[in-house]
Structure 1
Amino acid sequence: MFRPLPFFVGLRYTRAKRRNHFISFISLMSMVGLTLGVCVLIIVMSVMNGFDRELKQRILGMVPHATITSASGGMQDWQKVLDQVSEHKGIVAAAPFVDGQGMLASGSQVRGTMVYGIDPAYEEKVSIVNQHMTQGALEALKPGEFGIVLGEIMAQYLGVTLGDKVTMVLPEANVNLAGVFPRLKRFTVVGIFSVGAEVDGSLAYINIQDAARFMRVSEGVEGIRLKMENLFEAPKLAWDVAVQLPGRYYVQDWTRTQGQLFQAIQMEKTMVGLLLTLIVAVAAFNIVSTLVMVVTDKQSDIAILRTLGASPKTIMGIFMVQGSLIGVVGTLLGIVLGIIAALNVSEIVSGLESLLGIRFLSPDVYFISYLPSELQWRDVAVISIAGLSMSFLATLYPAWRASKTQPAEALRYD
């Protein structure tokens, strides 16, 4: 006789055609529900991982990981400070900068912007902007020529391209005998970048010497921008570096400028994962109703097995095998479909956008313009274990109820 009797009989019950087709339908729906729940959970977690990755690579690749600025205004001996900072462990690169806020105008179009005065030779070490130039080059920002590099969204909004002129207006005023006038300067567009994020519509780059002259930074450099090896060590590392420098310095890191966005994504990932896990739990516990109906339908079979010598433990094992098989098949199908969908969700959404002629993620609203996805096998493993565990737990009560069946009562009217 086949030794693992519960496994053998449980498989036979699963494969057997039931007289009650409603029970077969409920079993199928339990399996389909579990498959869809696991599949959707994998897809959503992969998309949230993708947003997290894009935040780190694109947004934090453009904005400073940390900055060190002098408390007295312009930074004296910035070259010496930059060399000292670059030698610190955990810092990949450093670059001088001048920054400010202003407005860019072209014709009747006006838009606010964050302006960075940079040295192209240093900037490519701390920023990804040079890797995403669609027109022109960052090296075209030469001192004295007052060139400007704009994001693609900014350029489209202003209606400008390479060689066109834009006017930059600073939120300061010049006072003279003729009255009060805003400080403004004409710049020539020498480059356009596109990283597919909100910074395409909010950042502009000019040469650091032009920026110092226009913004009246006496020392020529306002501060040092740092690129960290580990983003999450930025607050502590930047502070440690500033403490070792002679003089007084202000420190700011990305957790103050972009931290809320990162925290929002982490919180959404946790909450969405929890809600979808509850959906998987509901699908898994549909197995309870399925097995309860199966136990009721198989009362006479259970009684016969008991009279032939099957123990309550054996009866319980039979129905646990049957219910667990539904959970295993449903979970595995969900994992396979979820992995396939997660690996191709960006292309699927892009195809739908082209087919329907709509834009699901507008860069004017969201911080990226496409749906990212990053499949992490750790998430797949956790979801798999959760689905299988809940499926197994769902079999315990019906199987226990089957093991309590009394043969005499079950066969009384048969």
Structure 2
Amino acid sequence: MSGNATSDNGTRPSGTRAFSPFEWMVALRYLRARRREGFISVIAGFSFLGIMLGVATLIIVMAVMNGFRQELFNKMLGLNGHVVVHSLDPNFGNYDAIAANVRSVHGVKYALPLIEGQVMVSTPASSTGALVRGLREADLKQLKAISGNIRFGTLDGFDNKEGIAVGTRLANDLNVKLGDQVTLLTPRGASTALGTAPRVKRYPIVAIFEIGMSEYDSSIMFMPLAEAQRYFSKPDSITVLEVVLDSPDEVSALGPKIIEAGGSSVYISDWRQRNATFFTALQVERNVMFLILTLIVLVAALNIISGLIMLVKDKGHDIAILRTMGATRAAVMRIFFITGASIGIVGTLAGLALGVLVCLNIERIREFIGWITDTELFSPELYYLSQLPAEMDTGETASVVIMALVLSILATLYPSWRASRLDPVEALRYE
């Protein structure tokens, strides 16, 4: 018997150094499938698959929800200002002077005088409701969500054309193309002795845009500001002044400065107030999904515990021989720790690789699944976006990986400790 074996006088064996090649060799041999341990290997395989799929699913879902939120955020704020300046006076007449003062505030990108009004749009083929936004050509070109996504026509000379720009979905709904005429009807017409008469006027389509957000592409049209003032009977007046900031997160700091620049006759609202319910709901859904999907990783970690406990039970004879030959309790514990941790670590890394791969090709995968199943996944009418976005956050992805590694390592501690406490005499008594 080796000199390192436990003696009757209680001499403590020196054992091998921690995580020595010998311990790695034994641990990795226990991971290999053998006919006698087939069921244990199946459990280990399911543990690996569970952790891999759990980590990959967490990464993919979080990335898609981040991308979904960011895309909606960019498109909604790309079309609407970060801050909206309203006038206490029903007649917002001195808008150019106020806009110039607001533009002088450090952190303000631009301020856009705007007229908004609901209309009924009709053609011989169809009719629908729409929102008209009256903007100057220079201001409309500053909205990159519009000017950068013109599919047909041009915004050049927009102020002088007395035409309108419409979204692709609205054009499809009305069955019109570039150059066709549409009829706009609004109750805000001319005042007569009998009251306000509706105003009806025909306009040619001079541009067709596609933002990529179905709600906007199907319901918004743009008109030159001067023409919108005439159409809605608001001469020398606007509805609101939309202000775009260098950073949307600076709303709190710049709000008081914008009010001060605008004067005592104005008040403001910002994107947080106008979209608070929507973005709060997205954040709550995201947090709940994270908690639910974390349970997948937790279940896989519990599979590691059950698999290792069964392995310890099956390897009782081997553990007794190792202890008799001089292996310390710590060495035995490390052997089974390596066995279990290897499943968790390799599964986590495989899940990370799978998650990143899917996120980088999410749109192609969506199109392929849609083609195979002959269905439209993530309909733009329901999800507002024409493409499925995925935006991975480095910190969030790292936290998912760290969480999976910690759960996997914690799952190995109890079975490894059980293995180290096995009494070699009891294990060999009935051999």
TM-score, reference length from structure 2? 0.89
- Residue 43 (structure 1) aligns with: 60
Give the whole-Å Cα distance in 1 for the aligned partners of 2:176 and 2:272: 33
d(CA) in 1 for partners of 2:156 and 2:368? 36
1:182-232 deviation digits (Å, cap 9, x = unpaired):
233222111110011021012110000111111122423333211112213
In the alignment, does 2:340 pair up with 1:319? Answer: no
CA distance in 2, matches of 1:304, 1:192: 80
Find the residue that maps to 1:103 and give its secondary structure: strand
2:254 counterpart (223, 237, 243): 237
C-alpha distance in structure 1 between counterparts of 2:262 and 2:189, whole Å? 35
Does residue 156 (structure 1) correspond to residue 169 (structure 2)? The answer is no
Deviation string 1:251-281 (CA, Å, 9 cap, x unpaired) is 1222233333322222222211221111111
Per the alignment, do residues 216 and 73 of structure 1 end up closer, same or farther by CA in structure 2, a change over 3 Å counting?
same
- Cα pair distance change 1:14/1:20, threshold 3 Å: closer
Deviates more, 1:214-223 or 1:270-279: 214-223
2:326 counterpart SS class: coil
- The letter for the 2-side match of 1:413 is Y
The answer to whether the 8 A contact 2:82-2:251 is kept is: yes
Match of 1:189 in 2: 205
State whether structure 2 residue 78 is matched by structure 1 residue 80.
no
Paired AA for residue 195 in structure 1: I
- The equivalent of 1:14 in structure 2 is 31
1:319, distance to aligned residue in structure 2 (A): 1.0
Does residue 366 (structure 1) correspond to residue 375 (structure 2)? The answer is no
Deviations 1:84-120 (CA, angstroms, capped at 9, x unpaired)? 2112122122221111222212225222222110001
Of 294, 299, 303, which residue of structure 1 is paired with 2:320? 303
- CA–CA distance in structure 2, aligned partners of residues 355 and 140 of structure 1: 46
Matched residues in 1 for 2:350 and 2:177: separation?
51
Equivalent of residue 47 in structure 2, options 19, 23, 30: 30
User: Counterparts in 2 of 1:10-409, with a 5 A limit?
Assistant: 10-15=27-32, 17=34, 19-107=36-124, 109-143=126-160, 145-172=161-188, 176=192, 181-197=197-213, 198-409=215-426
* Alpha carbons of structure 1 residues 238 and 110: separation in structure 2 relative to 1, 3 Å: farther
8 Å contact from structure 1 (residues 2, 8) kept in 2? no
Structure of greater Rg: 2
Contact kept? 1:151, 1:199, Cα under 8 Å = yes
Give the superposition deviation at 1:384: 0.9
User: Does the 8 A contact of 1:327 with 1:388 survive in 2?
Assistant: yes
What is the CA–CA distance in structure 1 between the aligned matches of 2:84 and 2:195, rounded to whole Å? 37
Query: Structure 1 residues 80, 382: CA separation in 2 closer, same or farther (over 3 Å shift)?
Result: same
Closer, same or farther in 2 for the Cα pair 1:281/1:131, shift >3 Å?
Answer: same
Displacement of 1:83 in angstroms is: 2.0
Instruction: Deviation per CA, 1:109-160: give whole Å up to 9, x if none.
Output: 22222211000112222442000000112234324x5311111111110111
What is the identity, as a one-letter code, of the residue corresponding to 1:165?
Answer: Q
Contact 2:155–2:207 (Cα < 8 Å) also in 1: yes
Change (3 A) 1:255 1:330: same
How many Å separate the matches in 1 of 2:261 and 2:109? 18
Partner SS, residue 364 of structure 1: helix
Larger mean CA deviation between 286-295 and 65-74 belongs to 65-74
The CA deviation at 1:334 is 0.9
**How far off its partner does 1:239 sit?**
4.0
Deviation at 1:315, TM superposition (A): 1.9
Q: What percent identity do the matched residue pairs reach?
A: 37
Answer yes or no: is the 8 Å Cα contact 1:342–1:375 preserved in 2: yes
For 1:409 and 1:161, the matched residues in 2 are separated by: 87
Aligned length: 413
1:69/1:251 contact within 8 Å kept: yes
RMSD: 2.2
Tell me the CA shift for residue 2 of structure 1: 6.2
In the alignment, the residues of structure 1 paired with residue 150 and residue 372 of structure 2 have an alpha-carbon distance, to the nearest angstrom, of 28
Could you say which residue in structure 1 is the equivalent of 2:5? none
Structure 1: distance between partners of 2:415 and 2:74: 50
Q: Which amino acid aligns with 1:156?
A: N
